[in-house]
Structure 1
Amino acid sequence: MDLYEKILSRKAKIAVIGLGYVGMPISVAFASKADVIGFDINEDKVELYKKGIDPTNEVGNEVIKKTTAEFTSDQKKLREASFHIVAVPTPVNADHTPDLRPVDSASQILGRNLAEGSVVVYESTVYPGVTEEICIPILEKESGMKCGRDFKVGYSPERINPGDKVHRLENIIKIVSGMDEESLDIIARVYSLIVSAGVHKAESIKIAEAAKVIENSQRDINIAFMNELSIIFNRMNIDTSAVLKAAGTKWNFLKFTPGLVGGHCIGVDPYYLTYRAEQLGYHSQIILSGRRINDDMGEYVVENLIKRLIKADVPVKNARIAILGFTFKENCPDTRNTRVIDIINALREYELIPAIADPLANNAEARREYGIELKKPEEIMDVDAVIIAVNHDEYLKLGKDDLDKLFKKVPNNNKVLIDIKGILNRTEYEQLGYTYWRL
């Protein structure tokens, strides 16, 4: 009986290390087929899961309440499992170099509690080589065992899209890889238990690592192109949205839109690839150019806000600005690497006063990570401008009356609307006299 059969017959357990937006859905999915231990060093998060509360909103409270997965912050519980999935974040440092501390720490914890005969699969996004050159030596050092003889390692990049209720874990093809044919076969069969879309067997761990890191780099570059077009068309006084709508009638036109690019994937992964390229003597041209454009969009938005304030005869210094949305993307509570913070910082630099609201973001997290105090919508009033920064479904319902509750009691031509993703009817608000602008 091999490891897959033991898992299927519940004679061996699966452990998931890291219970965030990736690890939690994986834990819940596998728990319907096998015995699962969900481990996280964050005791508060684990306690929430034990109470049936899903702070990620990825699977929902009811699913958490019903799952048979065992949640724990006791690392010794990992010794009970034989198939380990590492799903911890891989952020970047302030200088845009990879921050591998979470994956290093997870490897140390797992290594200290690794049972002989185990299979370890990394899902964290990394540059090609991290699994074999960094993670395996840590596992060997901490466990005192030899990889390939005492345990096996593979890599299967996460493809979960936070907040996306259509493209889910089970219906996205899963890339799998292993250090040899035996590990690849076991890893492929185990993931096939929960991924109905099937698996793709990559030829090597490095190929699987590379495939993941270029997926988000490609999206980043395409969005950067849209952002650059927005900058150009704004100077031409041409509506970018209208241009893209017209161009999109061609069957092979790629439908990307301009916007802020943050989060734990698209705004981060390209730096992992370019970092590794520079180690090998190649300085990226296209990838880093796209990153620079996208990283500068918050400042660009504020520059255009100030121009519109002047146009609307509103004094710039100490102007009050409402910002609707703080998460890194729509319909998701995740604030990691949100680029809305760039807008807030730029506003403060110009001595404008921001007031931020978000129906999904966690206030405690915003306070802890960014020093931001989120407000309730009813607490925001008498502002000179409104920036709709994130297109949450709730904001798609905003009407003139909702917005006017936020503004000072002044004529419409003294009200500035910055609609980053273009969710409002531009013609309607311009005809009403509002000073309107969007990317």
Structure 2
Amino acid sequence: MYQQLINKEAKLSVVGLGYVGLPIALEFARKMKVIGFDIKPSRVELMKKGIDPSNELETADFDGCDIEFTSNPSDLREATFHVVAVPTPINKHNLPDLNPLLSASRTVGKALKKGDFVVFESTVYPGCTEEDCVPILEEESGLKFNKDFKVGYSPERINPGDKEHTLTKILKIVSGSDDEALEVISDVYGSIIKAGIHKASSIKVAEAAKIIENTQRDVNIALMNELSLIFNRLNINTYEVLEAAGTKWNFLRFFPGLVGGHCIGVDPYYLTYKANELGYHSKIITGGRVINDAMGPYVAKQVVKKLISKGHKINGSKVLIMGATFKENVSDIRNSKVADVYNELRSFSVDVDVADPHASSEELMEEYGYGLVDEIKESYHAVILAVNHDEYMKLDESYFKSIAIDDALFVDVKGVFKEKIKELDYWSL
């Protein structure tokens, strides 16, 4: 299989061309023939023109790639090695939404032939690949698992906006449904990953490894957020405390903040869901999620309290939120906790403007019911720096003063302007 792919006698497909799938597809396409499949024709048309709909890659990244972009599922029949990289979100009840993954499994299942391989990259709970996806592959293809086709799991480690830790520079975990599958999958990924391959002992181990990477970060950030809640009552700055504590060689450097996106804010719910199914109810992981999910409303309420203490009438007070994406220097708004800040402020009848140099106003309106202002106005009672885009990091206090009233509140969620704001009333987590 590996030699056939390298010799371009066989084709590899990537199903799902988002911020994870597209970089993988293009990297493989520098070594072999690739079919890039996405269910949205509009996205496919953009990629045919060398445009990344996720705004992560440049047009030059498409150069030299032997890839055919398509939204036609029948084209997948030409491939013998399939990589599935679709989203695995949660629903409004914080339960796993496997619909995209199961739908992709049905699509791939219809295209499966004897001897094919299927590798899943989507983040799931341990056991999902073999218990949920494989039966669909068997049903749709009429083939027998591990006899007619083989499966693997290789968790994605793409970090949106990170230009240093890119796909080929990150150690890749691979796993397979048997020894042969493990070796083939390891060889195929080894052809593009420069950092090396780690062979997990089973698919479940690889699934679990992925999910605890983000769960660990979530729990540690939750601790920082809880410390911030405590230190705020003590009237001391959390970042100053962390700076002092960080002088100890083994102190772990995590910071408080709004935990959104489609990794840290989502993955732990997959693990707690599986734990609940097995009769174990997580305490630390669930507790961390409760704390982190409450930080958006908490920031908004602190703004309201401080405006009241200044004697401002809350109904009609003007607040500017700078940043709407889930993290800095990306255009992705999925699961952005800035929306929680906005909604909480609006519940107090505060007049809220939102600005962001990277986000789409149309996407925000569709997802959250609000858009971006065409231009930043003046006389804001409070300015909230919610996302540390590079464009904002170049600003100084004189700019913030120019758009605010004399005794305005400046809220620096991540504490990046701690030493730079001297005249405005300053607050951070």
Aligned position for 1:74: 72
Aligned position for 1:261: 259
Aligned position for 1:143: 141
Contact 1:87-1:122 within 8 A present in 2 as well: yes
Once residues 327 and 82 of structure 1 are traced to their aligned partners in structure 2, the CA distance between those partners, rounded to angstroms, is: 37
Cα deviations by residue, 1:338-368 (Å, 9 ceiling, x for unpaired)? 1111101101111112111111112222122
Question: What amino acid is the match of 2:411?
Answer: I
Alignment of 1:183-222 (within 5 A): 183-222=181-220
Contact 1:51-1:65 within 8 A present in 2 as well: no
Matched, 1:422 2:420: no
Contact 2:355-2:376 within 8 A present in 1 as well: no
Alignment of 1:112-131 (within 5 A): 112-131=110-129
Cα deviations by residue, 1:11-69 (Å, 9 ceiling, x for unpaired)? 01110000001001101111111111110001111111111111223222221355332
Q: Secondary structure at the match of 1:384?
A: strand
| Deviation for aligned residue 1:385 | 0.9
% same residue? 55
Q: Secondary structure at the match of 2:175?
A: strand
Once residues 162 and 380 of structure 1 are traced to their aligned partners in structure 2, the CA distance between those partners, rounded to angstroms, is: 30
Aligned position for 1:328: 326
Matched, 1:280 2:278: yes
Once residues 172 and 52 of structure 1 are traced to their aligned partners in structure 2, the CA distance between those partners, rounded to angstroms, is: 24
Aligned position for 2:427: 437
Pick from 377, 388, 392: which aligns with 2:389?
392
Matched, 1:403 2:396: no
Once residues 48 and 140 of structure 2 are traced to their aligned partners in structure 1, the CA distance between those partners, rounded to angstroms, is: 29
Greater Cα shift, 366-375 or 152-161: 366-375
Contact 1:312-1:435 within 8 A present in 2 as well: no
Alignment of 1:172-251 (within 5 A): 172-251=170-249
Contact 1:312-1:416 within 8 A present in 2 as well: no
Question: What amino acid is the match of 1:160?
Answer: I
Once residues 8 and 146 of structure 1 are traced to their aligned partners in structure 2, the CA distance between those partners, rounded to angstroms, is: 26
Aligned position for 1:63: 61
Instruction: Please give the TM-score of this superposition, normalised by the length of structure 2.
Output: 0.98
Once residues 44 and 370 of structure 1 are traced to their aligned partners in structure 2, the CA distance between those partners, rounded to angstroms, is: 22
| Deviation for aligned residue 1:405 | 3.6
Question: What amino acid is the match of 2:309?
Answer: K
Cα deviations by residue, 1:86-114 (Å, 9 ceiling, x for unpaired)? 00000001111100000000001111112
Contact 1:53-1:65 within 8 A present in 2 as well: no
* Runs of 4+, deviation exceeding 4 Å: none
Aligned position for 1:305: 303
Question: What amino acid is the match of 1:15?
Answer: S
Contact 1:81-1:115 within 8 A present in 2 as well: no
Cα deviations by residue, 1:193-232 (Å, 9 ceiling, x for unpaired)? 1111111100100010000011100000000000011111
Once residues 154 and 93 of structure 1 are traced to their aligned partners in structure 2, the CA distance between those partners, rounded to angstroms, is: 26
Question: What amino acid is the match of 1:334?
Answer: D
Question: What amino acid is the match of 1:398?
Answer: L
Question: What amino acid is the match of 2:189?
Answer: Y
Once residues 341 and 274 of structure 1 are traced to their aligned partners in structure 2, the CA distance between those partners, rounded to angstroms, is: 24
Contact 2:30-2:64 within 8 A present in 1 as well: no
Question: What amino acid is the match of 1:353?
Answer: D
Question: What amino acid is the match of 1:317?
Answer: N
Contact 1:324-1:388 within 8 A present in 2 as well: yes
Aligned position for 1:11: 9
Question: What amino acid is the match of 1:134?
Answer: D
Q: Secondary structure at the match of 1:46?
A: helix
Contact 1:322-1:406 within 8 A present in 2 as well: no
Q: Secondary structure at the match of 1:178?
A: coil
Distance 1:66 1:318, change over 3 A: farther
Once residues 371 and 118 of structure 1 are traced to their aligned partners in structure 2, the CA distance between those partners, rounded to angstroms, is: 44
Greater Cα shift, 170-179 or 111-120: 111-120
Once residues 176 and 350 of structure 1 are traced to their aligned partners in structure 2, the CA distance between those partners, rounded to angstroms, is: 50
Aligned position for 1:160: 158
Contact 1:331-1:360 within 8 A present in 2 as well: yes
Matched, 1:381 2:375: no
Contact 1:157-1:176 within 8 A present in 2 as well: yes
Question: What amino acid is the match of 1:435?
Answer: D
| Deviation for aligned residue 1:115 | 2.3
Aligned position for 1:360: 358
Instruction: Please give the TM-score of this superposition, normalised by the length of structure 1.
Output: 0.96
| Deviation for aligned residue 1:373 | 1.0
Cα deviations by residue, 1:150-208 (Å, 9 ceiling, x for unpaired)? 11000000011111111111111111000000000000000001111111100100010
Structure 2: gaps (5+ residues): none
Distance 1:90 1:289, change over 3 A: same
Aligned position for 2:34: 36
Aligned position for 1:337: 335
Question: What amino acid is the match of 2:233?
Answer: R
Once residues 351 and 64 of structure 2 are traced to their aligned partners in structure 1, the CA distance between those partners, rounded to angstroms, is: 45
